[in-house]
Amino acid sequence: MKVLSKLKSERGLWMADAPVPEVGPNDLLIRIRKTAICGTDIHIYSWDEWAKKTIPVPMHVGHEYVGTVAGMGSEVRGFKIGDRVSGEGHITCGHCRNCRAGRRHLCRNTVGVGVNREGAFAEYLVIPAFNAFPIPDDISDDLAAIFDPFGNAVHTALSFNLVGEDVLITGAGPIGIMAVAIARHVGARHVVITDVNDYRLDLARKMGATRAVNVAREDLRAVMAELGMTEGFDVGLEMSGNPQAFRQMLDTMNHGGKVALLGIPPADTSIDWNHVIFKGLEIKGIYGREMFETWYKMVALLQSGLDISPIITHHFPVDRFEEGFEAMLSGQSGKVILDWAD
Ligand code: NAD
Ligand code: ZN
């Protein structure tokens, strides 16, 4: 089968041939229809320090996808051939304390599809049936293909009650922009997003941001004053991984504010802990998606009218994958979809 593989320890990905993976008794075989490119895939493509120490070579990568069930192991129940599915990319152990308590997103032995084991940039993918998520007929292939990052946005945004609250989102990457739409949909008052990239800030405006602020040019505190915000943000969603953005968030939070951290900062990032302590901030780290409560909420949010479709800005047939990666690398894109099959 055709795969997009990290064949060599250098920049790039290569179209290659690989055997169709074997299906174990508890597995599903999925025929991939569409995949999306994640920031993680960009790290792997660019072959940065993280990728060098994490990704085995050769291996085909990718973990954002939609496909149809093409085969299943003898123990699998609840799926049939042809079912449309996406899948949770974190494969959990099932036997640690958190797994056994139903808190699978906190499994200490998580293995990542397309990171620690073969991925979805392939004609066929095998995952445990437990990880597969059925897609209702009224949700398009394009949207189903981005359930993984949409789930990051939903998990983060729904960590705290947003109804009637003023929300700051730092980082207008695809996940931050989707979080804008979610916060708006569930009833936040002001949804302010920051970035240094005008293309992405424009997209965030289209998705419902009260104000999309380029912090390289604009003063966030002046924006808050214009909006009549005299005290500070009630909820912060950090989605940039940028230390300056995180510091600005801590500085502009109201006392008693709640902060969810999704963005991954450099290891030695320092902050002013006085904000955390004297404002009594509550800080929560977010990893992945809750299994499968976040997936349930994604479907429910879309079925209750949430529109995230503008976040998909580019489509390419998979043979033109390099153009897709270039679009992502340019910063002038939202999500980029690669089509594998009709
Ligand atoms: P992205 O890299 O596309 O977006 C980050 C954005 O932050 C960029 O648009 C960048 O211009 C912006 N930025 C840079 N400096 C800034 C500043 N000073 N103020 C505000 N914004 C600034 O990333 P993404 O794919 O949208 O993901 C968001 C973050 O979440 C990344 O850090 C990613 O690594 C992380 N992530 C974490 C998980 C998890 O499970 N915790 C999962 C997926 C992604
Ligand atoms: Zn576990």
Domain range enclosing 34: 2-146+308-339
The number of residues in the chain equals 342
Cα of 118 vs centre of ligand 2, distance in Å, is 20
The 10s digit of each residue's pLDDT in 152-208 is 999 999 999 999 999 999 999 999 999 999 999 999 999 999 999 999 999 999 999
Tell me how crowded residue 112 is: count the other CB atoms within 10 A of its CB. 16
- Residue numbers in the known binding site for Zn(2+) are 38, 63-64, 93, 96, 99, 107
Q: Judge if 126 and 234 occupy the same domain.
A: no
The 10s digit of each residue's pLDDT in 283-312 is 999 999 999 999 999 999 999 999 999 999
For residue 290, being part of any structural domain is answered with: no
Q: Judge if 130 and 226 occupy the same domain.
A: no
- Residue numbers in the known binding site are 38, 63-64, 93, 96, 99, 107, 175, 195, 200, 262-264, 286-287
- ∠ CA 334-193-273, nearest 5°, is 120
Helix pair angle (321-330, 39-46), 10° resolution: 100
Amino acid 5 reads S
Q: Judge if 100 and 141 occupy the same domain.
A: yes
Whether ligand 1 lies within 6 angstroms of the CB of 176 is answered as yes
Q: Does 294 qualify as catalytic in the annotation?
A: no
Q: Judge if 12 and 100 occupy the same domain.
A: yes
For residue 296, being part of any structural domain is answered with: no
Cα of 103 vs centre of ligand 2, distance in Å, is 8
Instruction: Tell me which residue has tokens 């915000």.
Output: 229
Cα of 263 vs centre of ligand 1, distance in Å, is 5
Residue 192: beta bridge partners? 168, 211
Query: Do 81 and 69 meet the contact criterion of CB atoms below 8 Å apart?
Result: yes
Nearest to 260 by CA among 240, 231, 282: 282
Report the CATH number that the domain containing residue 225 is assigned in CATH: 3.40.50.720
Q: Judge if 77 and 120 occupy the same domain.
A: yes
ipTM: 0.99
pTM for the model: 0.98
Whether ligand 1 lies within 6 angstroms of the CB of 216 is answered as no
Q: Judge if 71 and 22 occupy the same domain.
A: yes
Q: Judge if 29 and 132 occupy the same domain.
A: yes
Protein residues within 5 Å, CB atom, of ion ligand 2:
92-93, 96, 99, 107, 109
For residue 302, being part of any structural domain is answered with: no
For residue 39, being part of any structural domain is answered with: yes
Residue-wise pLDDT tens for the chain (342 aa)? 999 999 999 999 999 999 999 999 999 999 999 999 999 999 999 999 999 999 999 999 999 999 999 999 999 999 999 999 999 999 999 999 999 999 999 999 999 999 999 999 999 999 999 999 999 999 999 999 999 999 999 999 999 999 999 999 999 999 999 999 999 999 999 999 999 999 999 999 999 999 999 999 999 999 999 999 999 999 999 999 999 999 999 999 999 999 999 999 999 999 999 999 999 999 999 999 999 999 999 999 999 999 999 999 999 999 999 999 999 999 999 999 999 986
For residue 101, being part of any structural domain is answered with: yes
Q: Judge if 41 and 97 occupy the same domain.
A: yes
Query: Do 258 and 282 meet the contact criterion of CB atoms below 8 Å apart?
Result: yes
Q: Judge if 108 and 242 occupy the same domain.
A: no
In the chain, what's the furthest Cα-to-Cα distance? 62
Q: Which two tokens stand for residue 102?
A: 């139903």
**What's the total number of domains in the chain?**
2
Backbone angle region of 69, left / alpha / beta, with phi > 0 → left and psi within -120 to 50 → alpha: beta
pLDDT value, residue 341: 86
For residue 131, being part of any structural domain is answered with: yes
For residue 230, being part of any structural domain is answered with: yes
Q: Judge if 112 and 175 occupy the same domain.
A: no
Report the CATH number that the domain containing residue 56 is assigned in CATH: 3.90.180.10
Task: Label each residue of the chain as H, E or C.
Answer: CEEEEECCCCCCCEEEECCCCCCCCCEEEEEEEEEECCHHHHHHHHCCHHHHHHCCCCEECCCEEEEEEEEECCCCCCCCCCCEEEECCEECCCCCHHHHCCCHHHCCCCEEECCCECCCCECEEEEEHHHEEECCCCCCHHHHHCHHHHHHHHHHHCCCCCCCCCEEEECCCHHHHHHHHHHHHCCCCCEEEEECCHHHHHHHHHCCCCEEEECCCCCHHHHHHHCCCCCCEEEEEECCCCHHHHHHHHHHEEEEEEEEECCCCCCCCCCCHHHHHHCCCEEEECCCCCCCHHHHHHHHHHHCCCCCHHHEEEEEEHHHHHHHHHHHHHCCCCEEEEECCC
For residue 295, being part of any structural domain is answered with: no
Q: Judge if 137 and 166 occupy the same domain.
A: no
Q: Does 35 qualify as catalytic in the annotation?
A: no
Cα of 112 vs centre of ligand 1, distance in Å, is 19
Q: Judge if 10 and 117 occupy the same domain.
A: yes
Instruction: Tell me which residue has tokens 């230390």.
Output: 243
